[in-house]
Amino acid sequence: MRITTGLYKGRLLKRVGTIETRETASIVKQAVFNILFDVSDHIVLDVFAGSGQYGFEAISRGAKKAIFIDYQKEATMTILDNASMLQCQQQVEIFEQPVTQKVFHMIQDPIDTIFVDPPYDYQDYEKLLYIMPQAKQVIIETQKKTQLKNVIGSYQKVKEKAYGIKKIFLYESL
Protein backbone atom coordinates (compact mmCIF):
# COMPACT_ATOMS: atom_id res chain seq x y z
CA MET A 1 0.00 0.00 0.00
CA ARG A 2 1.84 3.04 -1.32
CA ILE A 3 1.22 6.76 -1.29
CA THR A 4 0.61 7.59 -4.94
CA THR A 5 1.42 11.30 -5.30
CA GLY A 6 2.90 14.29 -3.53
CA LEU A 7 5.48 14.78 -0.81
CA TYR A 8 5.48 11.12 0.27
CA LYS A 9 5.02 9.59 -3.20
CA GLY A 10 6.10 5.95 -3.28
CA ARG A 11 6.34 5.55 0.49
CA LEU A 12 4.88 2.31 1.83
CA LEU A 13 2.31 2.48 4.61
CA LYS A 14 2.04 -0.16 7.27
CA ARG A 15 -1.17 -2.25 7.11
CA VAL A 16 -3.42 -2.96 10.07
CA GLY A 17 -3.64 -6.68 9.32
CA THR A 18 -6.86 -7.53 11.17
CA ILE A 19 -9.84 -9.34 9.72
CA GLU A 20 -12.04 -6.27 10.38
CA THR A 21 -9.88 -4.02 8.21
CA ARG A 22 -9.71 -4.05 4.43
CA GLU A 23 -7.36 -1.84 2.49
CA THR A 24 -8.38 0.39 -0.39
CA ALA A 25 -6.82 -0.60 -3.71
CA SER A 26 -4.40 1.96 -5.14
CA ILE A 27 -6.49 2.36 -8.29
CA VAL A 28 -9.55 3.28 -6.20
CA LYS A 29 -7.56 5.69 -4.01
CA GLN A 30 -6.07 7.31 -7.12
CA ALA A 31 -9.57 7.66 -8.63
CA VAL A 32 -10.85 9.30 -5.43
CA PHE A 33 -8.10 11.91 -5.49
CA ASN A 34 -8.61 12.50 -9.22
CA ILE A 35 -12.26 13.26 -8.40
CA LEU A 36 -11.30 15.62 -5.57
CA PHE A 37 -8.47 17.13 -7.62
CA ASP A 38 -7.01 19.38 -4.91
CA VAL A 39 -6.93 18.97 -1.13
CA SER A 40 -4.24 21.60 -0.51
CA ASP A 41 -4.66 23.28 2.87
CA HIS A 42 -7.69 21.12 3.68
CA ILE A 43 -8.44 19.59 7.03
CA VAL A 44 -9.57 16.06 6.26
CA LEU A 45 -11.45 13.55 8.36
CA ASP A 46 -10.77 9.84 7.76
CA VAL A 47 -13.69 7.87 9.24
CA PHE A 48 -13.20 4.10 9.76
CA ALA A 49 -9.57 5.00 9.11
CA GLY A 50 -7.84 1.62 9.31
CA SER A 51 -4.21 2.31 8.39
CA GLY A 52 -5.05 5.93 7.58
CA GLN A 53 -4.17 5.73 3.91
CA TYR A 54 -6.78 8.28 2.77
CA GLY A 55 -5.63 10.80 5.38
CA PHE A 56 -1.93 10.24 4.69
CA GLU A 57 -2.48 10.50 0.93
CA ALA A 58 -4.23 13.83 1.57
CA ILE A 59 -1.32 15.09 3.72
CA SER A 60 1.10 14.01 0.99
CA ARG A 61 -0.96 16.10 -1.46
CA GLY A 62 -0.90 19.22 0.71
CA ALA A 63 -3.66 18.83 3.32
CA LYS A 64 -2.68 20.67 6.47
CA LYS A 65 -4.20 18.15 8.88
CA ALA A 66 -5.78 14.69 8.95
CA ILE A 67 -8.11 13.56 11.71
CA PHE A 68 -8.51 9.79 12.01
CA ILE A 69 -11.32 7.83 13.68
CA ASP A 70 -11.19 4.08 14.22
CA TYR A 71 -12.34 1.96 17.15
CA GLN A 72 -9.61 -0.70 16.83
CA LYS A 73 -6.45 -0.33 18.91
CA GLU A 74 -4.50 -2.07 16.11
CA ALA A 75 -5.69 0.57 13.63
CA THR A 76 -4.83 3.57 15.80
CA MET A 77 -1.39 2.11 16.57
CA THR A 78 -0.83 1.58 12.83
CA ILE A 79 -1.82 5.20 12.15
CA LEU A 80 0.66 6.35 14.80
CA ASP A 81 3.39 4.18 13.24
CA ASN A 82 2.63 5.54 9.77
CA ALA A 83 2.65 9.15 11.01
CA SER A 84 5.98 8.54 12.71
CA MET A 85 7.47 6.90 9.62
CA LEU A 86 6.34 9.87 7.47
CA GLN A 87 7.38 12.34 10.20
CA CYS A 88 4.03 14.15 10.05
CA GLN A 89 2.82 13.52 13.62
CA GLN A 90 2.07 17.24 14.11
CA GLN A 91 -0.47 17.07 11.25
CA VAL A 92 -2.34 14.10 12.73
CA GLU A 93 -5.10 13.76 15.33
CA ILE A 94 -6.42 10.31 16.24
CA PHE A 95 -9.62 9.26 17.98
CA GLU A 96 -9.77 5.63 19.09
CA GLN A 97 -13.54 5.60 19.33
CA PRO A 98 -16.58 4.02 17.73
CA VAL A 99 -18.03 6.15 14.93
CA THR A 100 -20.84 7.90 16.80
CA GLN A 101 -22.13 11.42 17.26
CA LYS A 102 -20.09 11.58 20.49
CA VAL A 103 -16.74 11.32 18.68
CA PHE A 104 -17.78 13.87 16.08
CA HIS A 105 -18.52 16.37 18.88
CA MET A 106 -14.90 15.96 20.07
CA ILE A 107 -13.55 17.36 16.80
CA GLN A 108 -12.70 21.04 17.14
CA ASP A 109 -11.48 21.80 13.61
CA PRO A 110 -13.66 22.85 10.66
CA ILE A 111 -13.58 19.95 8.19
CA ASP A 112 -13.15 20.41 4.44
CA THR A 113 -13.21 16.80 3.20
CA ILE A 114 -14.45 13.59 4.82
CA PHE A 115 -13.42 10.09 3.71
CA VAL A 116 -15.78 7.28 4.77
CA ASP A 117 -14.49 3.74 4.20
CA PRO A 118 -16.43 1.41 6.53
CA PRO A 119 -16.54 -2.38 6.61
CA TYR A 120 -18.51 -3.79 3.67
CA ASP A 121 -21.43 -4.89 5.84
CA TYR A 122 -21.99 -1.31 7.07
CA GLN A 123 -25.50 -0.01 6.30
CA ASP A 124 -25.95 3.26 8.22
CA TYR A 125 -24.67 5.70 5.59
CA GLU A 126 -27.70 7.96 5.75
CA LYS A 127 -27.55 8.22 9.55
CA LEU A 128 -23.80 8.84 9.34
CA LEU A 129 -24.21 11.76 6.93
CA TYR A 130 -26.62 13.37 9.39
CA ILE A 131 -24.32 13.12 12.43
CA MET A 132 -20.92 13.90 10.86
CA PRO A 133 -19.49 17.40 11.04
CA GLN A 134 -20.45 19.59 8.11
CA ALA A 135 -17.87 19.46 5.31
CA LYS A 136 -17.55 20.77 1.77
CA GLN A 137 -17.32 17.25 0.38
CA VAL A 138 -17.71 13.65 1.48
CA ILE A 139 -16.24 10.61 -0.27
CA ILE A 140 -17.87 7.27 0.58
CA GLU A 141 -16.38 3.93 -0.43
CA THR A 142 -18.83 1.01 -0.45
CA GLN A 143 -19.35 -2.36 -2.03
CA LYS A 144 -20.52 -2.17 -5.63
CA LYS A 145 -24.16 -3.12 -4.98
CA THR A 146 -24.76 -0.28 -2.48
CA GLN A 147 -27.29 2.35 -3.51
CA LEU A 148 -27.43 5.75 -1.83
CA LYS A 149 -29.94 8.58 -2.21
CA ASN A 150 -29.19 11.65 -4.31
CA VAL A 151 -29.76 13.98 -1.36
CA ILE A 152 -29.03 13.03 2.23
CA GLY A 153 -29.37 15.75 4.86
CA SER A 154 -27.35 18.73 3.69
CA TYR A 155 -25.40 16.76 1.06
CA GLN A 156 -26.10 16.17 -2.62
CA LYS A 157 -24.59 13.31 -4.61
CA VAL A 158 -22.53 14.67 -7.51
CA LYS A 159 -20.71 11.52 -8.62
CA GLU A 160 -21.07 7.76 -8.35
CA LYS A 161 -18.65 5.34 -9.99
CA ALA A 162 -17.88 1.64 -9.66
CA TYR A 163 -14.34 0.27 -9.62
CA GLY A 164 -14.35 -3.54 -9.70
CA ILE A 165 -16.10 -4.71 -6.51
CA LYS A 166 -16.15 -1.20 -4.99
CA LYS A 167 -18.16 1.94 -5.57
CA ILE A 168 -17.24 5.53 -4.80
CA PHE A 169 -19.78 8.25 -4.05
CA LEU A 170 -18.95 11.95 -3.91
CA TYR A 171 -21.34 14.18 -2.00
CA GLU A 172 -21.02 17.96 -1.75
CA SER A 173 -22.58 20.32 0.72
CA LEU A 174 -25.78 21.99 -0.50
Predicted confidence at residue 29, as pLDDT, reads 65
The tens digit of pLDDT for each residue in 29-48 reads 677 777 787 999 999 999 99
Question: Are the C-beta atoms of 32 and 44 separated by less than 8 Å?
Answer: no
Domain coordinates in residue numbering, the chain = 26-173
Q: What is the pLDDT of residues 100-151, one digit of tens each?
A: 999 999 999 999 999 999 987 899 999 999 999 999 999 999 999 999 999 9
pLDDT of residue 167: 93
pLDDT at 23: 64
Angle ∠(39,5,95) on CA atoms, nearest 5 = 55
Q: In what order do the strands lie in the sheet with 166-173?
A: 92-96, 65-70, 43-47, 113-116, 137-143, 166-173, 155-163, 151-152
Q: At residue 26, does pLDDT exceed 70?
A: no
26-173: CATH topology:
Rossmann fold (3.40.50)
Q: Other C-beta atoms within 10 Å of 110: how many?
A: 10
